[in-house]
Amino acid sequence: MIDAAGIQALFATHFGHAPGMVVRAPGRVNLIGEHTDYNDGFVLPAAIDRATFIAAAPRSDRRVRVFAADLNESDEFAIDHIESSGIRPWSNYIRGMVRALLAAGHVINGADLVVSSSVPRGAGLSSSAALEVATGYVFQLLYGLNILGEELALMAQATENHFVGVNCGIMDQFIVTLGQAHHALLIDCRDLSYQAVSVPENAAIVICDSHIERSLAASAYNQRRAECEHAVEILSASLPGIKALRDVTSQQLQQHSQALPSIVLQRARHVISENERVLSGVAALRAGNVAEFGRLMNASHASMRDDYNVSIPEMDALVASAQRVSGCYGSRLTGAGFGGCTVSLVENGAVEHFRHEVAAAYLAATGRSASIYVTHAADGVGRIRPE
C-alpha cells in the first residue's frame, strides 16, 4: 500500500527532482443516511484509512503535469485553457479543481503532481472526491491560498457537478475534507453544520467490496433525484413551505400518501425514514447502544432494497451473509447502489471470523469473490511527512 515515502520516491523517479510536499485525502464510507444528502437531509459518514496521495512541487509556468502511478498514465494541460479530457477521464477531477480555483479568483501557477491511491475505484468509497479534495489542498498549500474546509468541499462538489458531470450531493467531499479520527460526522446537508459522533472503540468498520461495477448507478441516481423532487412538488400543495423531503415527517407522508404515484411514494418513504434513522442512530451511538445502531443499519438496507430499489441480488446476499455472523451489529449497502460495497459494524473480536464467513457465504451464493477491508474512522485531508 502506498505511503508518503513511497510516493515521494515515485515523484523523484518520474520528474527527476524531489517534491515539495505530500498530501493525503481519505476515502469515505457512509455508516447510515443514503440518498438523503441531495434531499437536504442528514448523513453519517466517516473518513477511512485508505487514501489518495499526491506528491507535488510548484512550477514557475502555467502548466500542470500529472503522473497517475496506479494507471501508469500521464497528462499535461495549461491552466489558462482547461478543457475536459476524453482520453484521460481520471484527469478531469484534477482539471476541474484547478479550474474551480481560478474561477474563485485564486492566484496560482502550475504544478508537477504524482497521484497514487489505496481507495478502490468504482467501489462507492469516494475515490473521486478524494482526488478532487487532495488536488485542491495541494494548490492551497503550494500557493498559500486562504480556503476554509467547507469552501474546499463545495469547490470539489462543484467540480463533480459542473465539470465531471455527476450531480452528486455534498456528503463525499465534505467528509473527505473535514473527517475526524475515531469519529463519524453527522452532517446537515442543508446548512452544512456538522457534529462529531464517536465510533465505538470496541467495533471495527468493515467494508465488503462486491466487485460489481455500478453500471446503472449514474442513470438511476438522476432518476431517483427527479422522483424525490416530484414528491416535493406534489406534497407542497398540501404542505406549503416545504423545500425538500427533509421537511416532511413520516406521519405527514402517510397522511398525504394517496396524492403520490406509488413509485414516488416509495422513494419519498425511503428518504424520510432514512433521515429519521440517521438521527436515531446518532442518539443510539451517543447512548452507547451499538446494537440499536446496528438494527437501524439493517433497516436502512431493507429500505434501500424495497423502497428505493437500488440494491441487487448479489448485494442483498452480501448483506445477508454479514448479518448472519455473530458479532456483526448491522450491515447495509453503502453508496449509490447497484453494486459497490457494503458497510458493517463488527465487534473487534469477531472481525476475523466475520471476514472468513462472509467471504465464503458470498462466494457460495454468487460465485464471486469479495474484497474485505477492515478500517477505522480517520482524519480528513492533510499534509503528511514520510516516517
* Mean pLDDT, rounded, for 218-231: 90
Q: Is the pLDDT of residue 59 over 70?
A: yes
pLDDT 10s digits, 142-162: 999 999 999 999 999 999 888
Cell 497514487, located at residue: 116
Instruction: Note whether 245 and 135 are same-domain residues.
Output: no
pLDDT given for residue 234 in this prediction: 97
Take residue 148 and report the three cell numbers written for it.
476554509
* Mean pLDDT, rounded, for 77-82: 95
Q: Is the pLDDT of residue 215 over 80?
A: no
pLDDT 10s digits, 342-382: 999 999 999 999 999 999 999 999 999 999 999 999 999 99
pLDDT 10s digits, 185-194: 999 999 999 9
* Mean pLDDT, rounded, for 250-261: 97
Instruction: Note whether 45 and 176 are same-domain residues.
Output: yes
Instruction: Note whether 96 and 190 are same-domain residues.
Output: yes
Q: How far apart are the first and last CA of the chain?
A: 15
Q: Is the pLDDT of residue 233 over 80?
A: yes
For residue 131, the enclosing domain spans 4-199+378-384
* Mean pLDDT, rounded, for 82-92: 94
* Mean pLDDT, rounded, for 116-128: 78
How many structural domains compose the chain?
A: 2
Q: Residue 361 is part of a domain; what is its CATH number?
A: 3.30.70.890
Instruction: Note whether 188 and 209 are same-domain residues.
Output: no
Instruction: Note whether 234 and 363 are same-domain residues.
Output: yes
Q: Which of 172, 209, 247, 307 is catalytic?
A: 172
DSSP assignment of 105-169 equals T-----EEEEEEE-SPTTSSS-HHHHHHHHHHHHHHHHTT----HHHHHHHHHHIIIIII-----
Instruction: Note whether 59 and 164 are same-domain residues.
Output: yes
* Mean pLDDT, rounded, for 220-231: 92
Instruction: Note whether 153 and 255 are same-domain residues.
Output: no
Q: Residue 43 is part of a domain; what is its CATH number?
A: 3.30.230.10
Banded pLDDT at 119 (limits 50, 70, 90)? confident
Q: Is 70 a catalytic residue?
A: no
Burial category of 61 from C-beta neighbours within 10 Å (exposed 0-12, middle 13-18, buried 19 and up): exposed
